[in-house]
Structure 1
Amino acid sequence: MKDTACKILYVLHKKGENSHYKGLVALAEQNNMQVKFREFSIIGRSLKGIFKLDGKLYAKQWVNLFFMLGLLFSKNKRVVLGIAPYDYKLRSVLFFLKNHKVYYHTSWTSWDGSYYPKKKFVTDKLKQKWADFLETTSEHIFAVSGKTKEELTTHYNVPASKVSVVYHTVDPQFFIDYKVQKKHGSFIYVGRLLEEKGLTELLNFFAEKPSYTFTIVGNGTLENMVNEYAAKYPNIVYKGYVSDKEMLAKLYQEHQFLLMNSQRTERWEELFGMSIVEAMACKTIPVATSHSGPKEIIKTGENGILVQEGKMVSFLENELLNLDIVKLSTNAYQTAVLYTEEEVAKRWEPILA
């Protein structure tokens, strides 16, 4: 394909996040276009390639370097920029992009200026540069969640029409029917094994409910504790971290419910998580605490259940028998369809305007 501005969409990121752009790639293919991925952290990535003797990584940085230099001698390329909030590198990146159409892609959910990941060299002047970028320089903003859009439109002079919510996509593997029989009274947790995930409460509950099965998938700081419970109680099973999507899909399909007992901290709450949608694609019903991420996906009583923090055990003990399992499972699957590459591609369409 000829490398012209009208035929290519570029994604420019610090170190590449190709899996987050499957919807964009699908849109490009539908319109006889191509997506190319480039990185702007060239020096750092080059040094990493040298120190780790990674020739492929080092060679890749030459491609990135020629791309960045080429931006200075071209114009009107469409570039999706992924960069952390208030990162000081925005200044230099925008210097290279000054003659091009820049679209910002972000998943960050706190834009009131109180908390952000890149604190180095952050000044009032830099924050103003970011405000100018969000409000004026960027052609359009693509937010990974509705929470991100709400924050941007609340704290900046950014109209809602300038922000499109483009979710991450569900891998097609999770929609394959592996003919796995769901076990009655079966529950699964998939994610990081951390205290704020409410795992201790769940483990204590299932330790006293031998008629239920509870499967845990993931790794993290509570791994030893999870192993201890799994060794002591036959109905608690620990699978470790599972990267194989087919294996993970089969695990979802074996279970009736996905549990997410997340507990807010000062700096964290459960955001948009693909594990909920992956489970839904497998007709597994999500039961989650009412955090901003799950609330974007789950309509309680329709395609899953939302419970208030501290009420998860009470729900499991008293309300499970009242659920319409067939309805919830069917609607969960229909919800997951909204997160396929084909559907998410439609949300990227403003980039073609």
Structure 2
Amino acid sequence: MRNNIYVLHERGTVSHFIGLEYYASTVNADVQFREFSITRFLLKSIFRLDYNLFIKQIKNIIFLISLSFTSKRTVIVGIAPLDWRMVFLRFLLKGHRVFYFTSWSDWSGKYYPKKKLNSCHFIRKTWRKFLEEDITGVFSVTNTGLKSLTKHYKIKVSTSVVYHSYKKLETHAIPTEFSDKIKLIYVGRLVKEKGIKELIELIKKLDPTKFSLTIVGAGELKPLVEKNAKEISNIEYKGFISSKKDLWKLFHAHDVQLLFSRKSDRWEELFGMVIIEAMANGVITISTNHSGPKEIIDHNINGFIIPDDSSLIENTKEILENKLSNLEYLKEQAEIKAVKYSAKNISFKWKSLLNE
């Protein structure tokens, strides 16, 4: 009989647990994903007559109720810092083998992603008890986040840094005509905080005979991207690509990924899956200096880190025009670094705690 490892999160991304799934496959276990954010999506499923979404919420409800009548299940909880729903989850999780999973990088209290009730003394006390008394272990996506967490809370259990990981896909590059152009690419949400406007401003300042830009993704700034792709000869918009294999083919045909994430009081780039996926395909990344990218990219070795400030465009332009004479070496180093984040290697990080 196969054992179950449950991942309980709000509306998390399954791709963040590739390393965990690899580990589970080696110990005859299954990873089951459940969500605690139910009400809104249950109503949505009813109003839209979405059968699959409805069944998913029913499964979530049954799972949460079942926690009260069972014990010793292995549950990995991914929930944003100081989320008020911890009050209820903590009660349901009693008697189970609970691990906390987080990608949050700053536990100092300066800012948290959840604003609702996060200043409430009772909520803060509940979270402190959960982290300091209830859990069996902590999985953090970055060293930065783990150091901050252990600095501000008395974590008595074992911890492990489980970077996001990828499955290696065997692909062949999309055939392209030979060109001396450096092929730039952006993959992600088309929203303000991802620096889309700055991306377009940059390409306008680059020599179109030397640089081209491919944009992949969807979001509120899609009309802006489409407009500029029509007007500027060296911008190509591919839309949203759901197939990971197709995305890897596209990466393989490019040289440099641009990641202009802009930090706000509620968000920063906490890891950057597209960075390790690009690296695995020999694509270097130029990224703003957010906590996640800084931990992945070795500046001027397998990519570049630039300040998230008003000089972003000029700093990137300087790198592209004057610091890529050794581009092939940088690309090789990116592929070497990517191995660190393979599903197999990251699975050992999960194993170190789950096997205790």
Do both proteins adopt the same fold according to a TM-score greater than 0.5, normalized to the shorter chain? Answer: yes
Q: Cα offset for 1:62?
A: 4.0
Look up the match of 2:214: 215
Deviates further, 104-113 or 51-60: 51-60
What secondary structure, in the 3-state scheme, does the structure 1 residue paired with 2:15 have? helix
Deviates further, 176-185 or 77-86: 176-185
Identify which of 57, 64, 71 aligns with 2:67: 71
Question: Within 5 A, what are the aligned runs for 1:1-353?
Answer: 1=1, 7-15=3-11, 17-122=13-118, 123-158=120-155, 162-173=158-169, 176-178=171-173, 180=175, 183-184=179-180, 185-208=182-205, 209-211=207-209, 212-309=211-308, 310=311, 311-321=315-325, 324-349=326-351, 350-353=353-356
Please list every run of 5 or more consecutive structure 1 residues that lacks an aligned counterpart in the other structure.
Answer: none
- Tell me how far apart the structure 2 counterparts of residues 300 and 10 of structure 1 sit (CA, whole Å): 37
Q: Cα offset for 1:99?
A: 1.0
Q: Cα offset for 1:266?
A: 4.2
Query: In 2 relative to 1, CA 199–87 (structure 1 residues): closer, same or farther, beyond 3 Å?
Result: closer
- Tell me how far apart the structure 2 counterparts of residues 128 and 114 of structure 1 sit (CA, whole Å): 17
Q: Cα offset for 1:279?
A: 1.0
- Tell me how far apart the structure 2 counterparts of residues 265 and 29 of structure 1 sit (CA, whole Å): 39
Query: In 2 relative to 1, CA 71–223 (structure 1 residues): closer, same or farther, beyond 3 Å?
Result: closer
Query: In 2 relative to 1, CA 43–259 (structure 1 residues): closer, same or farther, beyond 3 Å?
Result: closer
Q: Deviations over 1:279-310 (max 9, x none)?
A: 11111121223322211111122212223342
Provide the alpha-carbon RMSD of the alignment: 2.5
- Tell me how far apart the structure 2 counterparts of residues 39 and 232 of structure 1 sit (CA, whole Å): 43
Query: In 2 relative to 1, CA 35–265 (structure 1 residues): closer, same or farther, beyond 3 Å?
Result: closer
Please list every run of 5 or more consecutive structure 2 residues that lacks an aligned counterpart in the other structure.
Answer: none
Query: In 2 relative to 1, CA 131–27 (structure 1 residues): closer, same or farther, beyond 3 Å?
Result: same
Query: In 2 relative to 1, CA 266–57 (structure 1 residues): closer, same or farther, beyond 3 Å?
Result: closer
- Tell me how far apart the structure 2 counterparts of residues 10 and 153 of structure 1 sit (CA, whole Å): 24
- Tell me how far apart the structure 1 counterparts of residues 39 and 194 of structure 2 sit (CA, whole Å): 37
What secondary structure, in the 3-state scheme, does the structure 2 residue paired with 1:255 have? coil
Q: Deviations over 1:17-44 (max 9, x none)?
A: 4332221121111012222223334555
Q: Deviations over 1:164-219 (max 9, x none)?
A: 2212222433x534375685321112222334444444433433412121222223
Q: Deviations over 1:300-339 (max 9, x none)?
A: 2221222334221222233233xx2222111211222222
Q: Percent identity?
A: 40
Normalised to the residue count of structure 1, the TM-score between the two structures is: 0.87
Q: Count residues with an aligned counterpart.
A: 345
What secondary structure, in the 3-state scheme, does the structure 2 residue paired with 1:320 have? coil
